[in-house]
Amino acid sequence: MVRIGLLGCGNIGGIIARHKIGIEITSFFDAASAKVDTMKGLLEHARAHYDFDNFIRDEFEILVEAASVGAVLQYGETALQRGKDLVALSVGAFADRGFRNRLEVLAGSLGRKIRIPSGALFGLDNLKIGQVSALDRLVLRTTKHPAAFGLQTQERTLLFEGSAEECIRQYPRNVNVAVALSLAAERPVAVQLWADPAVTRNTHEIHIAGAFGETTILTQNLPSPDNPSTSYLAALSIITLLKNLDRPLVVGT
């Protein structure tokens, strides 16, 4: 069974701990000691860490990050150097091209893997054809309730239109999906962010056109039953990725 070290004991960390299937969480760490204490109740047989240096020396093969973009930037290289593979949910960290290249080269030289789960959207697997065939159009339209942006607008409002890189500067908490698309296709993504008081679900519409033809993928996310502030799909996606890690049969591009 794959041994996991969990970095981040918040919403998603908690869901992973409650729904672990086919994995063993041996260790966990969070910068907030109260979160570590809470996690002890869910992971009685794992080792609790209040300090990253002790955590990373512990025995596990894969560090699963469910913390923050800052945590990936801060700990990613050390994790690889300490012989761990990395599963990173805060994919926004990879919008920094210099960091991404450095991490990829390091992982390659050490024979380690960095995995990014599909997270809060469908369609990433075949979007990777963008790496081998031209795409004429790659557009992401994300719509959330204004409260998700800390707004109170009563009208459907276009908040942002532009590149994923510019989006991360203006809306750093809403770019994971845009960066994941861009990484999968290895192409720029045209991003629109809408605030709509009529929506009850976080919605991601992806339009892709190219030599293959054309597709539109609509994902309407419900909150997690355990935690209303987390898209259930993002949590399920990472649990599924972990469950499949040591299977000999790999499905999906």
State the catalytic residues: 204
63/234 with CB nearer ligand NAD: 234
Q: Cα(57)–Cα(62) distance, rounded to whole angstroms?
A: 12
Find the shortest distance in angstroms from Cβ 30 to ligand NAD.
5
* 86 near ligand NAD (CB under 6 A): no
Residues 227-246 close enough to bind ligand NAD by CB under 6 A: 230-231, 234
Q: Which of 54, 57, 70, 200 binds ligand NAD (CB under 6 A)?
A: 70
Q: Going residue by residue from 9 to 38, which x/- string records binding to ligand NAD, judged by CB under 6 A?
A: xxxxx----------------xxx--x---
Q: Cα(40)–Cα(28) distance, rounded to whole angstroms?
A: 9
* 91 near ligand NAD (CB under 6 A): yes
The CB density around residue 9, as the number of other CB atoms within 10 Å, is 28
Q: Are 204 and 120 in contact (CB under 8 A)?
A: yes
Residue 129, both tokens: 């054809």
- Tell me the CA distances in angstroms from 239 to 109, 140, 150, 242, 245, one per residue in order: 28, 25, 29, 5, 10
119/146 with CB nearer ligand NAD: 119
Find the shortest distance in angstroms from Cβ 146 to ligand NAD.
19
63/138 with CB nearer ligand NAD: 63
Query: How many residues belong to the chain?
Result: 253
Q: What is the CA radius of gyration of the chain?
A: 18
AA identity, residue 97: R
Strand bridging mode 213-221 / 202-210? antiparallel
Residues 161-180 close enough to bind ligand NAD by CB under 6 A: 176-177, 180
- Tell me the CA distances in angstroms from 41 to 185, 229, 238, 252, one per residue in order: 40, 21, 21, 36
Q: 102: number of CA atoms within 13 Å, CB side?
A: 13
Stretch that binds ligand NAD, among 20-28, 62-70, 143-151, 159-167 (CB under 6 A): 62-70
Q: Which of 62, 63, 114, 120 binds ligand NAD (CB under 6 A)?
A: 120
Binding residues (CB under 6 A) for ligand NAD: these are 8-13, 30-32, 35, 66-71, 74, 89-91, 119-120, 176-177, 180, 230-231, 234
